[in-house]
Structures are given as structure tokens and as C-alpha cells.
Amino acid sequence: MREPYGLIGVFATPEAIQQAAAQLRRLGLHGVEAYTPYPVEGLGELLHPGRKLFLPILMFVAALCGAAWGYFIQYWDEALDYPLNVGGRPHNSWPAFMVSTFEFMLLVTVFAGFVGLLVASRLPQLYHPLFNADEFGRASRDGFVLCVEMRDPSFDLATVSRIFERCGAERIEEVTA
């Protein structure tokens, strides 16, 4: 048998979903997540409070590593592994190495950012219970979907749906996994 996953409410405006989210937070419910067609300001902070520094730090470290890697490749090549007299230039002609060092730095940073984004967002995740909901598709168009997971012991179907209705949910639906 398909056990339930959560309850979703579909709202028409960002204000509505923000209001609903705020009330649910006040209930202290966990497993509350909002799904919106575009980043609604404040919603993320509301549902996941606290400063999130993981990605910026990751990309900064990546930048340092990229630069170091970039310079080292060139230094190893020209000065250590196979030093040659090229046009009378010194083996370690660092000014000439700078450009590629820079490029390597940027490449590694962006790569780290891209991977970091997927990891932090738990992507790729091709199946998710929410996809079973009829109305969930609107979350990627014009609907603002709020979902409360039923795992939480303090979850009470009546309360949550009342909050949804009060905040003007156009539709409320139970989602099963």
C-alpha cells in the first residue's frame, strides 16, 4: 500500500505562500518546504533560517586550488621536468605563466560551483513523491506550492489544512509516496 508523504497547498501569490509558511513555522513543524516558479524573496530564509556559507567557501577554496594547479603545471613543465632554452627566456618566466594560471582558477571555481549546486540541492533526483501530485506541475509555472511532510509526529492534518485554507490555498492535496 502507498503510505502518505505529505500535504500540499497550492497558492496563487507569493504573499499567500509566505503567510502560510510563516504560520506553519510558528507551529514548529518540520519538513516544511516551498516550491515556487521563481525565487521568492525571503521564503528561503523563512523556511531554512541561518547563514548558508557552504557554497561560497567551496568556490573560494576551489579558486585557490585552481590557481595553484594552473601555475604548478607550467612551472613543472618549463622549469622542472624538461627545462629548455626558449628564446633566451628564463625557465620560470612567471609573467608569461599568469594568464593560464588565471584561466585555470576560473575554470575550477565554476566547476566547483556547478557541482556544489547539485550536491547541496540533492540533485539529480529524478523521482520525488511530489511529482505524483496533480497540481505540483504549477510550481514550475504560476503556482506557489507549500508542502508539509507527514513524518513529523506533531503533524496534524486538520490544523495544516486549516492554515492552508485560511491563507487562501486554491487547492489542497494529499501526496503519497
Partner 1 sequence: MSLPGELPADEPIVAPAVTMSSLSFEVSSRVLRPGAPRWWWIGFGFSFALFILLVIQLAWLFIFGIGVWGVNIPVAWGFAISEYVWWIALASGGTIISALFHITRQPWRAATNRIAETMLLSAIPCAGLMPIMHLGRQGLFYWLFPYSSVMGVWPQVRSPLWWDFICLFCYILMSIMYYYTGLLSDLATVRDLARSRFKQIFYGVLALGWRGSSREWRNHKIVYAIMSAIMAPMVISVHSVVGLDFAGGLTTGWHDTQFPPYFFFGAVISGTAVIVMLTIIVRWGYRLQDVITQYHLNAMAKVVLVGSLLLAYAYLWEAFGSIYSSDIAEYTEYMHRMFGFTAAGFWAEKALVVIIPQLLWLPAVRRNQTMLFLISGGIIVGMWIERYVFTTASLEHNYMPSYWGLFYPTFWDWAALAGTIGLFLTMFFVLIRLVPIVSMAEVRDIIEKKKRGEA
Partner 2 sequence: MTNPARDYWRSLEELADSPDFAAVVEREVPRFRDVLDKFDRRQFLTLMAASMALAGLSGCGPEPNPQQRLPYVEAPPGVVPGRQRYYATAHTRDGYAEGVLLAHEMARPIKVEGNPDHPASLGAAGAITQASILSLYNPRRAQTVVGPGQISSWEGFVAALYRRREQLLKKRGEGLRLLTGTITSPSLGAQIAALQTAFPAMRWHQWEPLHRDNELAADQMAYGRPVARVFDLAAADVIFAVDSDLISAAPGWLAYARQFAARRRPDETGGKMSRVYAIESTPTLIGAKADHRLPMRPVEVAASVRFLAGAVGAGPSQWTEIQSPHRDWLKEAAADLTANKGHALVHAGREQSIEIHLLVELINAALGAHGNTVRLIEPPVVSPTLHLQSLSELVGDMQAGKVDTLLILDTNPAYSAPADIPFAAALKRVPFSVSLSLFADESALLATWQVPAKHEYEAWGDARAFDGTATIQQPQVRPLYGGHAPSEVLAVLQGNTQPDDLTLVRQFWQRQQGAGSAAEGNPQSLAGDAGGGQTGPQSSGSSQPALAAAEAFEAFWHEALRRGVVANTAAPPLTLTPKAGLAEGLRPLPLGGEAAIDLLFRPDEGLWDGRHAENPWLLELARTFTRLTWDNAALIAPATAKKHGVKTGDVVAIATRYGATKAPVFVLPGQAPDTATLWLGWGRQAGALAEGVGFDAYRLRGAAEPWLARATRFEKTGETYRLATTQGHDRVAGRDLIREFTLDRFNNDPEYVKQKSKDVSLYPGYIYPDRAWAMAIDLNSCIGCQACTIACQAENNVPTVGKDMVHFGRIMHWLRIDRYYSGSPDDPDVAFEPMPCMHCENAPCEVVCPVHATVHDHEGLNLMVYNRCVGTRFCSNNCPYKVRRFNFYDFAAATERPPESWNPDVSVRGRGVMEKCTYCIQRIKVKEIEAERDGRKLRDGEVVTACQQSCPTQAIVFGDRNDSHSHVARRKATPLDYVLLDDLNTRPRTSYAAIVHNPNPAIGKEQS
**Contact residues: partner 1, CB under 8 A:** 14, 33-40, 43-44, 47-48, 52, 55-56, 59, 73-74, 77-78, 81-82, 86-87, 89, 93, 96-97, 99-100, 102-104, 106-107, 109-111, 113-114, 116-118, 120-121, 123-128, 130, 136-142
Give the residue among 35, 14, 25 at the shortest CA–CA distance from 129.
Answer: 35
Cα–Cα distance between 50 and 72 in angstroms, integer?
A: 38
Tell me which of 93, 132, 159, 161 binds partner 2, using CB under 8 A: 93
Give the shortest CB-77-to-partner 2 separation in angstroms: 9
Start-to-end CA span in the chain (Å): 10
Least gap, CB of 68 to partner 1 (angstroms): 14
Q: Does 92 bind partner 2 (CB under 8 A)?
A: no
Nearer to partner 1 by Cβ, of 104 and 164: the residue is 104
Q: Of 9, 20, 5, give the one whose Cα is nearest residue 132.
A: 5
Helix axes 54-75, 94-120, angle to 10 degrees: 150
**Burial category of 151 from C-beta neighbours within 10 Å (exposed 0-12, middle 13-18, buried 19 and up):** exposed
Q: How far is the CB of 104 from partner 2 (least distance, A)?
A: 16
Rounded (10°) CA dihedral 165, 24, 133, 168: 20
The nearest distance, CB 46 to partner 1, in angstroms, is 8
| Residue 106 binding target from partner 2, partner 1, none, CB below 5 to 8 Å by type | partner 1
Residues 47-86 that bind partner 2 (CB under 8 A): 82, 84-86
CB-based contact 32:146 (threshold 8 Å): yes
Residue ranges binding partner 2 (CB under 8 A): 82, 84-90, 93
